[in-house]
């Protein structure tokens, strides 16, 4: 009994010591001489956490305008308010801003003062989702790495708006009102380091023109795309993840080797109008073909390499790397054909 008491006391002492040290470290990081200054300059409507002095939380406050932002702030949270305008004035001292979240407000293009955003030279992340923008705002900070504009009313992309955004790696434009005419051959010019482009849930009927060459992830779900142009993916040789779910692709709209692309590892073609599996590359790892009009599957025909050669080279040859195959929602009757398993020896899951 005594041993248990001593053990409990020792454990309590250690926990208290660690907690005290942690709390002390938090406050030691803040110069006591500046603590009162941090408190006094915090906007009354917002919260300035003492353990995170570079962050300013003004979300869910019913704000109609942006309060003055202190100079020390790097991370600014303004989502879920009633903000309609973005002017230069609140950001006069905020020269170190890295991150601004303005999601779920009422911001329009006319409400953004010219230069208000572009003067934030150190800004890396700009979130303007769920607002009332009708076009991509311009000009933008040249150092941006992520630009999120989903769920607005964007139907226009001003000429040259992305020309100087060489650091941008992610552009999210999904669930807007973009037509094919909004995406010209030079629309994405300047996005030399873009890795993810999301144009899902728009009103496209064609594959967009001139996708940046370094794009790795291209999301085009929920459009009305009918045709994949011949050699379309030659211009984006690094594309790895391709999503074309919920479009209007038919067998006639896909060139003979349209998806036989060595860089593509994840191909999603669910909810289209395909009656057969299009030719694929041996490097493909995930294939989604559910909810099409496919009636049968012939493993010998769809195998990207000769099954006879596979037998010769075994695991040392260029055997197909497909690991996941989804075929449910078609007209295929089980069981899974044996030649599918013979071809795709690395398959871990088949949904049929």
Burial class (CB in 10 A: 0-12, 13-18, 19+), 339: middle
Task: Average the pLDDT over 260-275 and give the result.
Answer: 98
- Arithmetic mean of pLDDT, 290-310: 85
Closest Cα partner for 64 from 86, 42, 92? 86
Q: Which of 137-151, 160-174, 195-209, 314-328 has the lowest mean pLDDT?
A: 314-328
Specify the residue for token string 């989502």.
79
Peptide bond into 139 cis (omega under 30): yes
User: Does the pLDDT value for residue 309 go beyond 80?
Assistant: no
More confident residue, 141 or 309: 141
pLDDT at position 328 is: 96
What are residue 219's DSSP bridge partners? 198, 243
- With a cut of 80, say whether residue 259 has pLDDT above it: yes
DSSP 197-244: EE--SS--SSPPS---TT--EEE--SS------TTGGGG-TT--EEE-
- Out of 87-101, 130-144, 226-240, 300-314, pick the least confident: 300-314
Mean pLDDT of the chain: 88
β-bridge mates for residue 242, sequence order: 218, 267
Phi, psi of 290 (to 5 degrees): -65, 155
Q: Does the pLDDT value for residue 6 go beyond 80?
A: no
Mean pLDDT of the region 232-240: 97
Per the CB < 8 A criterion, the answer to whether 169 and 191 are in contact is: no
The 3-class SS string of 36-69 reads HHHHHHCCCCCECCCCCCCEEECCCCCCCCCCCC
Instruction: Tell me what pLDDT residue 308 has.
Output: 61
In our burial notation (b when 16+ CB lie closer than 10 A, e otherwise), range 29-39 reads eeeeeeeeeee
DSSP characters over 82-95: ----B-SGGGSS-T
Return the DSSP state at 7. H
Residue 300: φ, ψ to 5°? -65, -40
Do 200 and 175 contact (CB within 8 A), yes or no? yes
- 217: burial class by Cβ within 10 Å (0-12, 13-18, 19+)? middle
Q: Residue 312 is inside which H or E element, if any?
A: helix 307-313
Q: Is the pLDDT of residue 31 over 70?
A: no
User: In the Cβ-directed half-sphere of 101, how many Cα atoms lie within 13 Å?
Assistant: 14
Q: Which residues touch 66 (CB under 8 Å, ≥6 apart)? A: 58, 78, 83, 85, 86, 87, 90, 91
pLDDT score recorded for residue 300: 87
Q: What is the pLDDT of residue 324?
A: 98
Does an H or E element contain 34, and which? helix 32-41
Q: Band of the pLDDT at 306, cuts 50, 70, 90? A: confident
Helix (H, G, I), strand (E, B) or coil at 254: coil
Token readout for 282 is: 């041996």
Question: Residue 198 forms beta bridges with which residues?
Answer: 172, 219
Note the pLDDT of residue 333.
86
Using 50, 70 and 90 to split pLDDT, how confident is the model at 3? very low
CA-wise closest residue to 170 among 212, 232, 109, 118:
212
């Amino acid at each position: 009994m005594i041993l248990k008491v001593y053990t409990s006391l020792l454990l309590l002492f250690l926990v208290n010591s660690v907690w005290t040290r942690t709390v002390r470290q938090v406050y030691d990081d803040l110069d006591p001489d500046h603590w009162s200054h941090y408190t006094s300059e915090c906007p009354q409507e917002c919260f300035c956490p003492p353990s995170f002095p570079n962050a300013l939380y003004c979300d869910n406050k019913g704000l109609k305008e942006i309060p003055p932002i202190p100079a020390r702030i790097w991370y600014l949270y303004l989502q879920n308010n009633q903000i309609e305008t973005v002017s230069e004035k609140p950001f006069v001292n905020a020269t170190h801003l890295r991150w601004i979240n303005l999601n779920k407000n009422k911001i329009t293009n006319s409400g953004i003062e010219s230069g208000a955003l572009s003067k934030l030279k150190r800004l890396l992340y700009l979130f303007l989702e769920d607002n009332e923008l009708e076009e991509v705002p311009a000009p933008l900070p040249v150092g941006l790495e992520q630009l999120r504009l989903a769920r607005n009313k964007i139907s226009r992309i001003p000429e040259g708006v992305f020309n100087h955004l060489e650091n941008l790696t992610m552009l999210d434009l999904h669930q807007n009102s973009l037509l094919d005419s909004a995406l010209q051959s030079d629309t994405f010019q300047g996005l030399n380091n873009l890795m993810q482009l999301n144009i899902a849930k728009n009103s496209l009927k064609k594959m967009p023109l001139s996708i940046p060459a370094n794009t790795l992830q291209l999301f085009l779900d929920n459009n009305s795309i009918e045709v994949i142009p011949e050699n379309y993916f030659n211009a984006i040789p690094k594309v790895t993840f391709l999503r074309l779910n919920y479009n209007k692709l038919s067998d006639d709209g896909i060139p003979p080797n349209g998806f036989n692309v060595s860089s593509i590892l994840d191909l999603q073609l669910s909810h289209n109008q395909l009656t057969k599996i299009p030719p694929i590359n041996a490097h493909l790892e995930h294939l989604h073909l559910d909810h099409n009009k496919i009636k049968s599957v012939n493993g010998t025909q769809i195998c990207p390499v000769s099954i006879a050669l596979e037998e010769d080279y075994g695991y040392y040859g260029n055997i197909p790397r497909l690991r996941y195959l989804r075929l449910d929602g078609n007209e295929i009757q089980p069981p899974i054909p044996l030649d599918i398993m013979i071809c795709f020896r690395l398959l871990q899951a088949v949904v049929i």
